[in-house]
Amino acid sequence: MSNGIGDSQYWLLEERLQRRELLKRLTTLGILGSSFGVLLSACRGGTTPAPTAGQPSASEATPGGGERPFTPTFYQWIINLHPDIEKGVNPDFAKKHPIDSKIAPVQGFGIERFVAEARDKNSTWDVYIGMTPFVEMAQLVEAEVIEPWDPYLPDDVKKDIIPSILEEATYQGKIYNWPFLLDVIVLGWHAGIVEKAGLDPEKPPKTWDELLAAARKVKDSGAAPFGCTFDAHGWRSLAPITHSISTDVYTEDGLFDFTSDAAVQALELMKQMMELANPDVLNPGKSDAGVNDTPDEAAFGAEQVAYYVKYQNAPIRFAGVWRDPSKLRLGALPSGGEGATVFWNTGAALFKWGKNKEIAAEYMKALTYDERIWAHSIGGGREAVGQLSVYQSLWDAWRQNPPKWMQDWAFFIVDQLKVSKAIRTHKFGLTQFVIGQPHWEKYFKGEVRDPRQALQEARDAVLAELKKQGG
Amino acid sequence: MVVLARGRAGATARHWRESFMYRFVTSWPFLLPTIGFFVGWQLYPILRVLWMSFTDYYYLRVGEPVHWVGLANYREALADPLVRQGLLRALAFTAIFLPGMIVIPLVAAILIDRVRNQRLATIYRVILLIPAMIPGPLIFVLWKWMYSYTIGPINYVLVDVLHLFTIYNAPQWLGDPDLTFLAVAVMEWWWGLGYHTIFFLAGLATIPRELFEAARVDGASEWRMFWSVTLPRLRPILLVLVVLRFGTAMAVIDEYLIFGGFNRALPTYTWTVYMWDLAFQLGDWRQSYAAAVGWIGALLMLIVVAFLFWLFRPRD
């Protein structure tokens, strides 16, 4: 049988592996084996074994010190929107302590890598800057990925945090979130479009009825194709509009009460807003699993809509692409009774198995008080992102002696914190809105006529999922 | 004596070379890296997920014991409307995607195969292959922009250039449940066209030209030659592509996550996205249940693949 190999070659291949060849192959195997050994040890954290259960981490053994430079990791957008972190804060801090800043592997709020490392009682990083309490804090605490800041947070800093934000940062009686960037759901509007519609651009709608009337006038007058828009994700629209009516909308276990009267009213308002909004308002966004780059941003950026309900950095960023960004105005969310809104901060979590914990606290203080961050965020012109400081002392000082870069809207927004509340921290803090959304959207689409029924379905779906998760 | 001793030594050496141990020592050590890779990279994860599917394992519950729950997860998954709906959605996408992913490259390959100018044929091949060189996430973001309602070029042409729609009723390519799968399929066809065309070109190159010449002599039309010569000869390539693309179409996840996120109302929330949601998003990350959902999906796919193998069996 011919197989294309000559007899002599076949004999060589099949039978006569020479001793020299055997040795050569074994040597190769040995090299491969040792390579795998190196690879394995690298995967396990190099030559330093990870601490075992109950064994203190390096930083616990030597407080304030570590075997590596201080290693913070940032959610990518924070570095993108606040360039002074890398240009100014980090180089300055590096004069005191070596720092190795990283980008966190958390696209779409994914925390898998953090959890996986914590299960091995290990952490590549010391602090994660990008945690929003209601989104992932409960899961990170329960999976023992992060630990409280309490032993490291200086008293003067703790007292300086605006009380409602400190409450947001606290879970089970401990502070797990060092607050940093404040976002508040507000009303933004295009003064040019509003004026073209024959309305006073300096006089914002104070109630939802006023907003709907103004938005209708914008659309009917042809000043813009759409009167108003909002982000369809529940924590950015349903919850804030509900808070504007009442903040007493949480169940005993910390979930949003979809069936509360305030939530029902909010849903009815949203349906009326939808009729005046860009038709794709319910569509998912382009990035972060549909959460960001949402259709409302595109419409507002394209100057197709007058009024916009979202956290302040969205209208500020998208007004930056307008022909005349100075036409942007910002104000409090229209009131439905209580006059509150939703806010959240994006702050820092301290990794339980990280190192350099005292340096981490020192860094967070330096970062969060650095005025360059706020000058760029508030007064950065087309590059401004509008995220605000969480410290009362800074606001008091700026109010007494406003810096050149300060904008009036910043004070209006911060003042809303006196009555506003964050969404309660819960394992389903964010996902309850993701699960509920298709159900309340049935009311928008006319598949369910009663808003209360749609919201009851949303609540039932959340509870079913909670039950499925053993909760 | 010396000759006899040499003879014995030679016989012993030959015996050693023919022994099991000799073959073992000279073969198996060299297979170890591959075996290690296969076991560690493929077999272990499969068995681990299988084991998980019979337990009450939650990833975020640190230090809690894991219990054997038998078929409870499977029973629950089979009764779960999200699993059924997710599988049906994946099947619907596959039904739209698969025919186009086979027919369009097949036609393109036949047309390119007929180009007699070699330089021109190469240019066609390169152009077709360009999309295949672009990384997936970039493709998805690019097409998501193309499909954007307000600023996408497709709607710009439909609304502002052709005036077929207005800004109030333009198609919502990724928001309208009736259009979403078609929109995703068009993107996938564009992306995979070059890659699949090359498969068919390789298959066409193996068909002897004499068969076509003989058929022409017998008066066969082009259409008849396609059905009686080309298609039967391409059956192995078709099998490979249909099986591969069926698997990828049923198990699409990246595109769905980027196009639809975790919105359960959208068609893009299929069983794969639900599985990811269960395993890495919801509550305590009930990966045991997610594993059961995964196995149900995988078993259904295996049944269909077996049917495809039967359908494309050699019939010569």
Say yes or no: A321 contacts chain B, CB-CB below 8 A: no
pLDDT attached to residue A42: 34
User: Chain B: residue nearest A233 by CA?
Assistant: B263
| Contact between B261 and A285 using a beta-carbon 8 Å cutoff | yes
Burial class (CB in 10 A: 0-12, 13-18, 19+), A114: buried
Alpha-carbon gap, residue A136 to A171, rounded angstroms? 12
So what CATH class is A185-342+426-468?
A: alpha beta
Q: Which residues of A touch B61 (CB under 8 A)?
A: 142-143
Which percentage of chain A shows pLDDT scores above 90? 76
Neighbouring residues of B78: CB distance < 8 A, sequence distance ≥ 6 = B296
Residue B146 resides in a domain: yes
pLDDT attached to residue B1: 54
| Contact between A112 and B175 using a beta-carbon 8 Å cutoff | no
| Contact between A428 and B282 using a beta-carbon 8 Å cutoff | yes
Mean pLDDT of B239-262: 90
Q: Which residues of A touch B26 (CB under 8 A)?
A: 17, 22, 25
Instruction: Name which residue leads in pLDDT, B95 or A62.
Output: B95
Q: Using an 8 Å Cβ cutoff, are A89 and A366 in contact?
A: yes
Residue B248 has which token pair? 């990828």
Mean pLDDT of A232-258: 96
Please report, for chain A, the start and end positions of each structural domain, with discontinuous segments joined by +.
Answer: 59-182+344-418, 185-342+426-468
Residue B5 resides in a domain: no
Residue B61 resides in a domain: no
Mean pLDDT of A80-88: 95
Residue B114: which pLDDT band, with cuts at 50, 70 and 90?
A: confident
**pLDDT over threshold 60, residue A21:** no
Residue B30 resides in a domain: no
pLDDT attached to residue B316: 61
- CB atoms near residue A122 (< 10 Å): 18
| Contact between A471 and B144 using a beta-carbon 8 Å cutoff | no
Residue B119 resides in a domain: yes
Burial B181-203 (b: 16+ CB within 10 A, else e): bebbbbbbbebbbbbbbbbbbeb
Residue B260: which pLDDT band, with cuts at 50, 70 and 90?
A: confident
Alpha-carbon gap, residue B118 to B112, rounded angstroms? 10
First to last CA, chain A: 68
Q: Which residues of B touch A287 (CB under 8 A)?
A: 141, 258
Residue with tokens 């009213």: A265
Q: What is the DSSP letter of A324?
A: -
Say yes or no: A12 contacts chain B, CB-CB below 8 A: no
Alpha-carbon gap, residue A277 to A285, rounded angstroms? 16
Q: How many domains does chain B have?
A: 1
Q: What is the 3-state secondary structure (H, E, C) of chain B?
A: CHHHHHHHHHHHHHHHHHCHHHHHHHHHHHHHHHHHHHHHHHHHHHHHHHHHCCECCCCCCCCCCCCECCCHHHHHHHHCHHHHHHHHHHHHHHHHHHHHHHHHHHHHHHHHHCCCCHHHHHHHHHHHHHHHHCCHHHHHHHHHHHCCCCCCHHHHHHHHHCCCCCCCCCCCCCCCHHHHHHHHHHHHHHHHHHHHHHHHHHHHHCCCHHHHHHHHHCCCCHHHHHHHHHHHHCHHHHHHHHHHHHHHHHCCCHHHHHHHCCCCCCCCCCHHHHHHHHHHCCCCCCHHHHHHHHHHHHHHHHHHHHHHHHHCCCCC
Shortest distance between the Cα of B23 and any Cα of chain A, in A, equals 9
Shortest distance between the Cα of A469 and any Cα of chain B, in A, equals 6
What is the overall mean pLDDT for chain A?
A: 87
- Please state whether beta strands A226-230 and A343-351 pair in parallel, antiparallel, or not at all (unpaired): unpaired
Burial class (CB in 10 A: 0-12, 13-18, 19+), B302: exposed
**pLDDT over threshold 50, residue A13:** no
pLDDT attached to residue A108: 65
pLDDT attached to residue A55: 36
First to last CA, chain B: 64
Which percentage of chain A shows pLDDT scores above 70? 85
Burial class (CB in 10 A: 0-12, 13-18, 19+), B26: middle
Q: What is the DSSP letter of A256?
A: B
pLDDT attached to residue A1: 36
pLDDT attached to residue B26: 83
Q: B292 is in which domain, residue-wise?
A: 72-311
A120-129, A222-231, B23-32, B189-198: which has the minimum mean pLDDT?
B23-32
pLDDT attached to residue A290: 82
* Phi then psi dihedrals of residue A328, to 5 deg: -75, 135
Residue A321 has which token pair? 């692409």
Residue B17 resides in a domain: no
Q: Please tell me which of the candidates A15, A22, A441 has its beta carbon nearest to residue B265.
A: A441
pLDDT attached to residue A287: 76
Residue B262 resides in a domain: yes
Instruction: Name which residue leads in pLDDT, A2 or A451.
Output: A451
Q: Using an 8 Å Cβ cutoff, are A177 and A368 in contact?
A: no
Query: pLDDT digit string (tens) for B115-127?
Result: 889 899 899 989 9
Residue B121 resides in a domain: yes
Whether CATH 3.30.70.3190 fits A59-182+344-418: no
Alpha-carbon gap, residue B284 to B61, rounded angstroms? 7
Q: Which residues of B touch A280 (CB under 8 A)?
A: 149-150, 172, 175
pLDDT attached to residue A331: 92
- Please state whether beta strands A102-103 and A226-230 pair in parallel, antiparallel, or not at all (unpaired): unpaired
What is the overall mean pLDDT for chain B?
A: 90
pLDDT attached to residue B4: 59
Q: Using an 8 Å Cβ cutoff, are A329 and A191 in contact?
A: yes
A302 three-class SS: coil
Shortest distance between the Cα of A371 and any Cα of chain B, in A, equals 35
Interface of A with B in 102-161 (CB under 8 A): 108, 110, 112, 115, 118-119, 139, 142-144
Say yes or no: A16 contacts chain B, CB-CB below 8 A: yes
Residue B175: which pLDDT band, with cuts at 50, 70 and 90?
A: confident
Residue B235 has which token pair? 């059956």
Mean pLDDT of A360-377: 97
**Mutate which of B37, B140, B150 to test chain A, going by most A C-beta atoms within 10 A?**
B150
Q: Of A231, A208, A229, A205, which Cα lies nearest the Cα of A219? A: A229
Give whole-number Cα distances, B89 to A180, B49, B180, B276, in Å. 42, 24, 11, 16
Query: pLDDT digit string (tens) for B182-234?
Result: 999 999 999 999 999 999 999 999 999 899 899 999 999 989 999 999 999 99
* Phi then psi dihedrals of residue A6, to 5 deg: -65, 155
**pLDDT over threshold 80, residue B61:** yes
Residue B195 has which token pair? 């890659």
Q: Please tell me which of the candidates A26, A119, A284 has its beta carbon nearest to residue B261.
A: A284
Shortest distance between the Cα of A240 and any Cα of chain B, in A, equals 20
**How many residue contacts between A and B have a Cβ separation below 8 Å?**
133
pLDDT attached to residue A351: 98
Question: Letter for the amino acid at A436?
Answer: G
pLDDT attached to residue B265: 86
Q: Using an 8 Å Cβ cutoff, are A177 and A127 in contact?
A: no
| Contact between A285 and B266 using a beta-carbon 8 Å cutoff | no
Neighbouring residues of A283: CB distance < 8 A, sequence distance ≥ 6 = A232, A294, A295, B149, B172, B174, B175
Cα A77 vs. chain centroid, distance in angstroms? 9
Say yes or no: A203 contacts chain B, CB-CB below 8 A: no
Query: pLDDT digit string (tens) for A117-161?
Result: 999 999 999 999 999 999 999 999 999 999 999 999 999 999 999
Alpha-carbon gap, residue A18 to A21, rounded angstroms? 5
**Mutate which of A11, A280, A294, A432 to test chain B, going by most B C-beta atoms within 10 A?**
A280
**pLDDT over threshold 70, residue A59:** no
| Contact between A290 and B261 using a beta-carbon 8 Å cutoff | yes
Alpha-carbon gap, residue A390 to A181, rounded angstroms? 7
User: Chain B: residue nearest A25 by CA?
Assistant: B30
**pLDDT over threshold 70, residue A301:** yes
**pLDDT over threshold 60, residue A34:** no
Say yes or no: A468 contacts chain B, CB-CB below 8 A: yes
Shortest distance between the Cα of A456 and any Cα of chain B, in A, equals 16
**pLDDT over threshold 80, residue A407:** yes
Alpha-carbon gap, residue B288 to B294, rounded angstroms? 10
Residue A12 has which token pair? 């060589």
Q: Of A277, A308, A391, A198, which Cα lies nearest the Cα of B168? A: A277
Burial class (CB in 10 A: 0-12, 13-18, 19+), B312: middle
Give the residue ranges of DSSP H helices in A370-404.
371-379, 392-400
Residue B313: which pLDDT band, with cuts at 50, 70 and 90?
A: confident
Alpha-carbon gap, residue A352 to A147, rounded angstroms? 5
CATH number of the CATH domain containing B208 = 1.10.3720.10
* Phi then psi dihedrals of residue A388, to 5 deg: -115, 160
**pLDDT over threshold 70, residue B6:** no
Q: Please tell me which of the candidates B25, B58, B262 has its beta carbon nearest to residue A434.
A: B262
